[in-house]
Structure 1
């Protein structure tokens, strides 16, 4: 099984990995330090070399194609009770994350990483037009697919869990209240929602805070669904949804919010993004940007995730973002980091996806199911064990545009909670 065995013997320092090769041979790696116990089988000898040279994207592709399966040699639990299927995948990705530094420090992986970083701006070139193609790849999938694993409001971003036992629906409601409090809204204000998704946040702001909201998205399916929801709720006089690039908009707006869209802007367009946000705001305006990020220095998006899930996508380090807020001469009036909340959110999505897996296979196919299992669990582990986090950044054109203390955020989020809801603490 050389050269893959060479890589794995160096990689697994914590936990134990048992690999069954295509001929049924058994190979055990690690075991020196306690940790996850995982087993998988390779069904194709070509993987011995290809996984050594390009573990990303080929590990994910092998799982999608069924040439790599988790569990014992017969496809069931391993000899030591290692999980099979998606549970085995989760155990492996946990093993990967606890050992990731021994992997990324391998000379070959360092070389591949430098090459990937050098091409980052080229891969994230995201002008008007191409941006819509990238969005359509992921967000123009069947509405029913998302309904099978998201909450009822179709919130496709990090929820905010006030306690361990809170439901996904309540946690997503917390997130909307949390963002609304940071926006410091007043009745009648004009609000822009950049990357509005299926419209849930825009509809919430209009209904609960009596503001006028314009939501923009590049997804044809999302725009259609959002417009239908506005009509059904009787909010078309206060909310409009447009199939439009934010760069083509004219202002001004009193408030701007963007949740889960900044990951699709592209590093070469950060200057353009913040300059446009500033141009769209009134002199006393403020904005809240919510994005996935990383707690490590700037890097690049993994090849598998970039190819199959989010073409053109990238989760930035805060150091990359501050450079451009400073160039735009915007005041960063508040920054909050949400750490484990997205791991909990993704786990909820994964459970719901598994419960509806048969229906997903009917809509698409088995390979698609394995692709989305890999995506959801990989991201969950990145937040639970890796370097991923979520940040919320509040911005203003004028230093005096918002109150001087954060008390209004606490007051705003809890006054919107209602009698039946628990108060929401600031997440960080």
Structure 2
């Protein structure tokens, strides 16, 4: 298996340099024909070498978590940058086979039933709430921020994101009814209520988020204006003036795309406006990394614009605006990583070292997905009627929110 892995790595490294120390102590340097970063990798067991050949997408993360492989002479980010850059360049024959098999089986993995969706959400979002306080902003915005300036703090950029979305919702009068699909810990709903006079219903499948959101509403004195329900979007039976969804579409699964947008259509009043904010990919339909699927976001998938728009087209909704946020999420995750690193000891006490390695790998891999692998965010504005909104974007910039 050592010889086979050597063959794979020689084909795989097309850019940069990778120094590898194998489990028997032998060393080899793999240099690509293109300039790129340089990193080192040590493989501590023959099982790690075998796993990398048979299922590299899953094995790298698992063997890093178990300590059977590690960066050598560099940090984890540098090692992953070399590997992820070369996946974009070419991959290798085994990785290509793995990817094709994942694509064939993708429909089965995206059949997110009501029961499965609740279980998937609980896997990640019902972790100890203290964890999120140790790396998110104070409002616990767990989605892409909006950096209007490079020197913005994470708190400022997350607030800017909320106001950016509010402008697209055209909250031009108080009392508008808003549905927040996938409402997280309640920050967006509370902002729309306090600063725009909206009456908001937030829905989530995370019990931990639901309980926290309800407590925040009480603390803000907004019981008559904001409420949160433990509910799936497929069970909503009321129509709203506005619908917003931030960071939830990625959890729907490809098999549910058409059902999701039909649900948005049915939840909107005839003159309503919706804004959907999601992670996406610029290179067409793909698959979810198997390690990420197993350990971080079961049932998750970052959609391409082509498959998203295909589902919208069947819903009867107008796409009235689409904005691509390219590096905003990379900048957001970079800030999360700084806070995570600063609180690593506390997180280790909360969980253990294996969990810290898992989460560290997730954050670094996610940031690099936006920097080198074509991931981005998109915001799509939708209406049921062609004449609901003005025919130019000027209204998005005319209204000044409080404190601006």
Correspondence 1:146-157 to 2 at 5 A = 146-157=132-143
Corresponding residue number in structure 2 for 1:97: 84
**Structure-2-length-normalised TM-score:** 0.97
Corresponding residue number in structure 2 for 1:55: 56
**How far apart, in 2, do the equivalents of 1:101 and 1:254 lie?**
42
**How far apart, in 2, do the equivalents of 1:31 and 1:113 lie?**
22
Match for residue 300 of structure 1 among 265, 273, 287: 287
Residue 164 of structure 1 aligns to a residue whose secondary structure is coil
**How far apart, in 1, do the equivalents of 2:206 and 2:137 lie?**
19
Corresponding residue number in structure 2 for 1:3: 4
Contact 2:85 2:372 in 1 (8 A): yes
| Structure 2 unaligned residues grouped into runs of 5+ | none
**How far is the alpha carbon of 1:146 from its aligned partner?**
0.4
Correspondence 1:336-347 to 2 at 5 A = 336-347=323-334
Corresponding residue number in structure 1 for 2:124: 138
Residue 3 of structure 1 aligns to a residue whose secondary structure is helix
Q: Does 1:410 align with 2:397?
A: yes
**How far apart, in 2, do the equivalents of 1:107 and 1:68 lie?**
22
Corresponding residue number in structure 2 for 1:20: 21
Q: Does 1:360 align with 2:361?
A: no
Residue 119 of structure 1 aligns to a residue whose secondary structure is helix
Corresponding residue number in structure 1 for 2:168: 182
Contact 1:177 1:417 in 2 (8 A): no
| Structure 1 unaligned residues grouped into runs of 5+ | 72-77, 420-428
Contact 2:57 2:95 in 1 (8 A): no
Match for residue 384 of structure 1 among 371, 381, 387: 371
Corresponding residue number in structure 1 for 2:108: 122
**How far apart, in 2, do the equivalents of 1:387 and 1:368 lie?**
27
**How far apart, in 2, do the equivalents of 1:98 and 1:366 lie?**
27
**How far apart, in 1, do the equivalents of 2:77 and 2:88 lie?**
18
Residue 196 of structure 1 aligns to a residue whose secondary structure is coil
Contact 2:195 2:402 in 1 (8 A): no
**How far is the alpha carbon of 1:101 from its aligned partner?**
3.6
Contact 2:56 2:95 in 1 (8 A): no
**How far apart, in 1, do the equivalents of 2:64 and 2:137 lie?**
27
Q: Does 1:237 align with 2:224?
A: yes
- Measured against aligned partners, the alpha-carbon deviations of 1:347-383 in whole angstroms (never above 9, x if no partner) come to 1111110110111111111000000001000000000
Corresponding residue number in structure 2 for 1:313: 300
RMSD: 1.1
Corresponding residue number in structure 1 for 2:241: 254
**How far apart, in 1, do the equivalents of 2:329 and 2:221 lie?**
32
**How far is the alpha carbon of 1:249 from its aligned partner?**
1.4
Corresponding residue number in structure 2 for 1:107: 93
**How far apart, in 1, do the equivalents of 2:268 and 2:47 lie?**
55
**How far is the alpha carbon of 1:255 from its aligned partner?**
0.1
User: CA, structure 1 residues 43+107, in 2 after alignment: closer, same or farther (shift >3 Å)?
Assistant: closer
**How far is the alpha carbon of 1:110 from its aligned partner?**
2.2
Q: How many residues in Structure 1 have an aligned counterpart in Structure 2? A: 402
**How far apart, in 2, do the equivalents of 1:346 and 1:217 lie?**
23
Q: Does 1:332 align with 2:348?
A: no
**How far apart, in 1, do the equivalents of 2:93 and 2:131 lie?**
41
**How far is the alpha carbon of 1:108 from its aligned partner?**
2.5
**How far apart, in 2, do the equivalents of 1:329 and 1:275 lie?**
8
**How far is the alpha carbon of 1:107 from its aligned partner?**
2.9
- Measured against aligned partners, the alpha-carbon deviations of 1:169-203 in whole angstroms (never above 9, x if no partner) come to 00001100000000001211000000000000000
Corresponding residue number in structure 1 for 2:210: 223
Residue 305 of structure 1 aligns to a residue whose secondary structure is helix
Corresponding residue number in structure 2 for 1:425: none
Corresponding residue number in structure 2 for 1:350: 337
Contact 1:288 1:394 in 2 (8 A): yes
**How far apart, in 2, do the equivalents of 1:228 and 1:369 lie?**
29
Residue 61 of structure 2 aligns to a residue whose secondary structure is helix
Corresponding residue number in structure 1 for 2:181: 194
**How far is the alpha carbon of 1:31 from its aligned partner?**
5.4
**How far apart, in 2, do the equivalents of 1:97 and 1:374 lie?**
13
Runs of 4+ in 1 over 4 A off after TM superposition: none
**How far apart, in 1, do the equivalents of 2:52 and 2:16 lie?**
20
